[in-house]
Amino acid sequence: MSAIKTEAAPYLDAFRANASEPAWLVDHRRAALTAFGERGFPSRREEAWRFTNLRPLTAHAFAPIPSPSIGEGRNAERQRGISGGGDAGGAITPTRSQPSAARALPHQGGGKLGAEIDLGVPTYRLVFLNGILQSGPTDLPKGAWLASTARTIAERPDLAKQALDPSDLAGGQPFASLNAALFADGFVLALEPGATLDRPVEIIHIAEAVSAASIHSRNAILLSAGAKATVIETYSGKGAYWTNAVTEVAVGAGAALVHIQLQDEDRRAIHLAMARAKLAKGASYRNFGLTLGANLSRRDVQIALGEGASCAVNGAYLLRGEQDTTNAIFIDHAAPGATTRELFKGVLDERAHGAFLGTIAVRQDAQKTDAQQTSRTLLLSDRAAIDTKPELDILADDVKCSHGAAVGDLDKDMLFYLRARGIGADEARRLLIEAFVLDAIETVEDMRIREHLSSRVRRWLGSFETHASRAPQDEGRA
Amino acid sequence: MSLLNIDNLHASVEGGREILKGISLEVKAGEVHAIMGPNGSGKSTLAGVLAGREGYTVSQGSVTYDGRDLLAMSPEDRARAGIFLAFQYPVEIPGVNNMYFLRMALNALHRARGEPELDAGQFLKTVRAKLKFLEIEDDLLQRAVNVGFSGGEKKRNEIFQMAMLEPRLAILDETDSGLDIDALRLVANGINRLRAPDRAAIMITHYQRLLDYVEPDFVHVLSEGRIVRSGDKSLAAELEKYGYAAFGDAA
């Protein structure tokens, strides 16, 4: 390898080929690692990364946990544990390369892992601790595959291969390349033609780390023609870790996927999540992201639309302190008659920063494209900031495309109206903020999930102090 | 004893010119006062200053409500103390359900008075009773506050809120403007039904027509920031006949 970027070196050093893995995977990992090494971290001179300050990420080397070099014996044990479904204790035994992370495991002997953050309704639930599956469902309906990526590699390589993507090797998306090289586990959901899941799939990621550690998970959601599923991913944890997740999505002809990403990571953590979706003819993909946590986070959603396909990419983010988030949405209208709807609502307080990059590319033969993009942001403090960059790149001539962006503070007339009815200033502000993000949350059709997301927003608002009640000396608080 | 006492009130738009130039007015429990005046006479400024709207500076004078310095109180404290402003332009609040909002407001008042808060069932009962009392429909309640309401619906919603919150002093800011005759009757009916010996109201209006339906105890003519005439309801008829110009000259 020539011209390895210095910041990439620790990650290259961390890589160990695992002899127990199939050759196709090892080859892919090596090539992806090479791509990452030559590319290095993105720089702010690149348009797509202009508004994302990666310093928290480049300031430390985040050792991957669990290390991919766990050794053949342990790897075998891990796979057995996962296929067992309920008990995978062997998977989290510490190794020399990740002592600190392993020491921090909190839930051994405790209550049910993830119980505090789950949906609270029957789901097909997979719980991951530091990127490794702890428990999964045992009662899957016919026509459905839902298992850890590690187990899928061993038992269904045909599906596992679809969790990898040629773009991993191109270097255009360096974090996806690094993820391909270093991922330890993840989930794969695959539905056969026409299969429908009667409950949502719930993926819970819990991270626990006492030192800079990175968790790379690789996932795939593969719906065959006419299949239907709802997947909700929840990310939370404790520590200054780095989550680097990649989910490959394929929605077959006439199939429908609802994909919710709830990011409530530790406020010291870094969270990068990439979803790459390919939609076949008439397919539907509805993605929603709620961003509450992490110090630095970025959500990339990249969608290629087939003929007559429809996608909705919506989201809400509520941040304070020095939190920073980017939503980077790229929609490729590659075929005619496809529909895109994007609605983002941001609430930024204190010194929080947000960025919305929304690119919609309409290719020459993508006639009758119908695309709408809206981004609205509330800035609750003079020092909060948002960068918005809508980009419509239209080559077809018979299309309907629109975008709108608005930035503002809470409406003074609304506040006065509420206060004139006896509602206190703080309560009035909370009510208006909740109302502001509501229409984005209402794009989620499942009532239980919507209520779950709303309750997380209310929890955020509950620890919210308005400027009127905030003492000046509190300004410096992170 | 006076419920509201305005004494030599001078107020200006923040950083701008003086609008109220020495208003004095006493309102006792049980009384209904009408304040009439042409556009720009200071009617809405007076309503805004009394309700605590931002953007006004009081340079002189005082307002005492129930023995308290009203101008030192926040808008919510004024509301909790029993002041209700029916807005000239009720504000649309997308995403906030009308019922949810009303319950929040009512419970804020209950808390302030040390009374127990209403649960969903008790609240619904109160809502039904007030709808019946005012003889109005419940069609606005499940919608977002004022969003997409017609002018008449917005004013009806204000009157319903007033009935729910049972203020001691209602300030109705041009509640009659922009209403057709049916809506005007409905609104006037609401105001009349809420009249009580322990309550008072100030109706601010440009036209005499509301006073055909709600009979005031006193009528005041406001011109260029001052009350230039006060009298009983016959003053309204006089105004109708001779117009504001005559009174403006008298000032």
Min Cα–Cα distance to chain B from A452, Å: 17
Among partner residues B84, B96, B165, which is closest to A435 by beta-carbon distance?
B96
How much is the pLDDT for A465? 53
The Cα B204–Cα B23 span in angstroms is 14
What is the pLDDT confidence band of residue A147, given thresholds at 50, 70 and 90?
very high
User: Are A148 and A126 spatial neighbours (Cβ–Cβ below 8 Å)?
Assistant: yes
User: Are A180 and A107 spatial neighbours (Cβ–Cβ below 8 Å)?
Assistant: no
pLDDT at residue A69 is higher than 90: no
The Cα B227–Cα A70 span in angstroms is 88
The Cα A443–Cα A431 span in angstroms is 19
The residue-averaged pLDDT of A237-243 equals 96
List the single best residue of A419, A437, A466 to mutate versus B (max B Cβ within 10 A): A419
* Residues of A in Cβ contact (< 8 Å) with B54: 412, 416
pLDDT at residue B93 is higher than 70: yes
* A459 φψ region: left (φ > 0), alpha (ψ -120 to 50), beta (else): alpha
- Inspect the interface and report whether the beta carbons of A418 and B93 lie closer than 8 Å: yes
Residue of chain A with shortest Cα separation from B111: A422
- Inspect the interface and report whether the beta carbons of A419 and B75 lie closer than 8 Å: yes
> Omega of the bond prior to B197 within 30 degrees of 0, cis?
no
Q: Are strands A132-135 and A124-129 parallel, antiparallel or unpaired?
A: antiparallel
The residue-averaged pLDDT of A314-343 equals 98
pLDDT at residue A97 is higher than 70: no
Best CA proximity match to A478, nearest among A209, A295, A344: A295
How much is the pLDDT for A92? 35
* CB-defined contacts A:B, below 8 A: 72
How big is chain B, counted in residues?
251
The residue-averaged pLDDT of A4-17 equals 85
pLDDT at residue A327 is higher than 70: yes
pLDDT at residue A79 is higher than 60: no
Using CA atoms in the order A183, A186, A189, A190, what is the torsion angle rounded to 10 degrees?
Answer: 30
Among partner residues A417, A422, A425, which is closest to B93 by beta-carbon distance?
A417
% of chain A residues with pLDDT over 90:
77
Q: What are phi and psi of A15, to 5 degrees?
A: -75, 130
How much is the pLDDT for A41? 93
The Cα A355–Cα A299 span in angstroms is 10
- DSSP annotation of B91: P
How much is the pLDDT for B135? 85
Q: Which two tokens stand for residue B217?
A: 């105890």
User: Residue B86's Cα: distance from chain center in Å?
Assistant: 4
Give the list of residues 6+ apart from residue A102 with CB closer than 8 angstroms, or none.
A65, A66, A92, A93, A94, A95
- Inspect the interface and report whether the beta carbons of A414 and B91 lie closer than 8 Å: yes
pLDDT at residue A74 is higher than 60: no
How much is the pLDDT for A384? 97
Using CA atoms in the order A455, A456, A457, A462, what is the torsion angle rounded to 10 degrees?
Answer: 90
3-state secondary structure chain A: CCCCCHHHHHHHHHCCCCCCCCHHHHHHHHHHHHHHHHHCCCCCCCHHHCCCCCHHHHCCCCEECCCCCCCHHHHHHHHHHHHHCCCCHHHHCCCCCCHHHHHCCCCCCCCCCCCCCCCCCCCEEEEEECCEEEECCCCCCCCEEEEEHHHHHHHCHHHHHHHCCHHHHCCCCHHHHHHHHHCCECEEEEECCCCECCCCEEEEEEEECCCCEEEEEEEEEEECCCCEEEEEEEEEEECCCEEEEEEEEEECCCCEEEEEEEEECCCCCEEEEEEEEEECCCCEEEEEEEECCCCEEEEEEEEEECCCCEEEEEEEEEECCCCEEEEEEEEEECCCCCEEEEEEEEEECCCCEEEEEEEEEECCCCCCCEEEEEEEEEECCCCCEEEEEEEEEECCCCCEEEEEEEEECCCHHHHHHHHCCCCCHHHHHHHHHHHHHHHHHCCCCCHHHHHHHHHHHHHHHHCCCCCCCCCHHHHHCC
The residue-averaged pLDDT of A350-355 equals 97
The residue-averaged pLDDT of B154-164 equals 94
Residue of chain B with shortest Cα separation from A424: B76
List the single best residue of A409, A413, A421 to mutate versus B (max B Cβ within 10 A): A421
The Cα A73–Cα A20 span in angstroms is 9
The Cα A10–Cα A67 span in angstroms is 13
User: Are A381 and A412 spatial neighbours (Cβ–Cβ below 8 Å)?
Assistant: no
The residue-averaged pLDDT of A101-114 equals 49
How much is the pLDDT for A104? 37
Among partner residues A417, A425, A431, which is closest to B91 by beta-carbon distance?
A417
Give the residue, B251 or B127, on which the prediction is more confident: B127
How much is the pLDDT for A67? 55
Q: Which two tokens stand for residue A283?
A: 């397919």
How much is the pLDDT for A113? 79
Lowest-confidence segment of A91-100, A216-225, A444-453 by average pLDDT: A91-100
Best CA proximity match to A273, nearest among A326, A198, A337, A204: A326
What is the pLDDT confidence band of residue A72, given thresholds at 50, 70 and 90?
very low
List the single best residue of A374, A418, A438 to mutate versus B (max B Cβ within 10 A): A418
How much is the pLDDT for A17? 81
Min Cα–Cα distance to chain A from B47, Å: 12
Among partner residues B54, B85, B95, which is closest to A435 by beta-carbon distance?
B95
Give the list of residues 6+ apart from residue A370 with CB closer than 8 angstroms, or none.
A338, A339, A340, A399, A400, A401
pLDDT at residue A312 is higher than 50: yes
pLDDT digits (tens, 9 = 90+) for A359-391: 999 999 999 999 999 999 999 999 999 999 999
What is the pLDDT confidence band of residue B240, given thresholds at 50, 70 and 90?
confident
- Inspect the interface and report whether the beta carbons of A421 and B105 lie closer than 8 Å: yes
Give the residue, A472 or B159, on which the prediction is more confident: B159
List the single best residue of A374, A417, A432, A434 to mutate versus B (max B Cβ within 10 A): A417
pLDDT at residue B193 is higher than 80: yes
Best CA proximity match to A308, nearest among A267, A344, A280, A276: A280
* Residues of B in Cβ contact (< 8 Å) with A411: 91
List the single best residue of B83, B84, B93, B117 to mutate versus A (max A Cβ within 10 A): B93
Render B38-51 in DSSP notation, one character per residue. -TTSSHHHHHHHHH
pLDDT digits (tens, 9 = 90+) for B39-77: 889 999 999 999 999 999 999 999 999 999 999 999 999
* Residues of B in Cβ contact (< 8 Å) with A424: 76, 108
> What is residue B57's three-state secondary structure?
strand
* Residues of B in Cβ contact (< 8 Å) with A439: 94-95
pLDDT at residue A101 is higher than 80: no
- Inspect the interface and report whether the beta carbons of A420 and B75 lie closer than 8 Å: yes
Q: Are strands A187-191 and A213-223 parallel, antiparallel or unpaired?
A: parallel
The Cα A268–Cα A274 span in angstroms is 20
* Residues of A in Cβ contact (< 8 Å) with B93: 414, 417-418, 432, 435
Q: State the complex-level ipTM.
A: 0.96
User: Residue A447's Cα: distance from chain center in Å?
Assistant: 21
Residue of chain B with shortest Cα separation from A419: B76
The Cα B216–Cα B212 span in angstroms is 9
How much is the pLDDT for B248? 62
Q: Which two tokens stand for residue A279?
A: 């939609």
- Inspect the interface and report whether the beta carbons of B96 and A431 lie closer than 8 Å: yes
The residue type of A234 is T
pLDDT digits (tens, 9 = 90+) for B118-147: 999 999 999 999 999 888 888 899 999 999
How much is the pLDDT for A199? 95
Among partner residues A421, A427, A439, which is closest to B95 by beta-carbon distance?
A439
- Rounded to the nearest integer, the mean pLDDT of chain A is 88
Among partner residues A413, A420, A427, which is closest to B85 by beta-carbon distance?
A420
User: Are B59 and B12 spatial neighbours (Cβ–Cβ below 8 Å)?
Assistant: yes
Min Cα–Cα distance to chain B from A438, Å: 6
User: Between the ranges A119-128, A130-139, A184-193, where is the mean pLDDT highest?
Assistant: A184-193
Min Cα–Cα distance to chain B from A292, Å: 20
- DSSP annotation of B92: P
- Rounded to the nearest integer, the mean pLDDT of chain B is 92
Lowest-confidence segment of A93-107, A424-438, B171-185 by average pLDDT: A93-107
What is the pLDDT confidence band of residue B232, given thresholds at 50, 70 and 90?
very high
Best CA proximity match to A66, nearest among A7, A134, A117, A8: A134
Best CA proximity match to B157, nearest among B178, B136, B182: B136
- Inspect the interface and report whether the beta carbons of A436 and B95 lie closer than 8 Å: yes
The residue type of A233 is E
Q: Which two tokens stand for residue B202?
A: 């100030």
User: Are A184 and A217 spatial neighbours (Cβ–Cβ below 8 Å)?
Assistant: yes
What is the pLDDT confidence band of residue B247, given thresholds at 50, 70 and 90?
confident
Q: Read off the pTM.
A: 0.88
The residue-averaged pLDDT of A451-470 equals 77
How much is the pLDDT for B76? 98
